[in-house]
Amino acid sequence: MLRKSIELANRPKIILALPSSVEALDTKKYEKSGEFDSCPVCLEEFMTGVDVTTMPFSHIFHKGCIVQWLGSWYTCPMCRFEMPKSLPC
């Protein structure tokens, strides 16, 4: 009994964001605002006009970067805001 719970605790956990919640995020063309000018995932500066995704608390990411990020973890890389998560498999 005890051993089993230890094994479970040591298993790497992968918790994905719910795909429909990722799709529901706001995507827009980037315009320079001065405050968030680079992507926290790949650390590249945004180019004006690229597709960016804004999270509900105004953190901005490349669309491709945040989709990839949320495909392996369910919280915002900046503030750990929790997205709705799909069940671990």
By beta-carbon proximity to Zn ion, the closer residue of 12 and 57 is 57
Q: Which stretch binds Zn ion (CB under 5 A): 1-9, 13-21, 25-33, 71-79?
A: 71-79
16 is a contact residue toward Zn ion (CB under 5 A):
no
85 is a contact residue toward Zn ion (CB under 5 A):
no
50 is a contact residue toward Zn ion (CB under 5 A):
no
For residue 80, the one-letter residue type is R
59 is a contact residue toward Zn ion (CB under 5 A):
yes
Order the strands of the 51-54 sheet from edge to edge.
26-29, 51-54, 60-62
Q: Cβ contacts of residue 41 below 8 Å, gap of 6+?
A: 61, 62, 65, 66, 68, 69, 77
